[in-house]
Amino acid sequence: MRRTHHNVYELIILPLYGVCENSYLDYRHHSDELLELFIQPPYIEVPLWLMVMTVKKMPPHEANRFFELIRTKMDPIFRKSSYPLTAEQLLKLLVDALTESIY
């Protein structure tokens, strides 16, 4: 767990928020009731959850490879697609782009 917390801090928290590691580690000890007072919208909470869980389950270099793969697949989608995209359209385009890279 210590290594996971350190990896999450280095890869996500420090670049994103710029807080020191001790502040980040202290923040984890706040009660859930206190944290529930600061409701995050899904567009903030879900990407952070995804990044944390990816770093937790993968070595940092593999997590970086995964995020770079997603970025390289999303960039052409955003450049070529008409706007506004729906969630279903974006998911379909991403699945198509990822499927093309497998074959």
Tens of each residue's pLDDT in the chain, 103 residues: 777 778 878 887 788 777 787 777 676 666 666 667 777 788 888 888 888 888 888 888 898 899 999 999 999 888 887 778 898 998 999 999 988 866 5
Which tokens go with 64?
A: 């970086």
Quote the pLDDT of residue 103. 58
| d(C-alpha 34, C-alpha 15), whole Å | 24
Angle at 74 between CA 69 and CA 78, to 5 degrees: 160
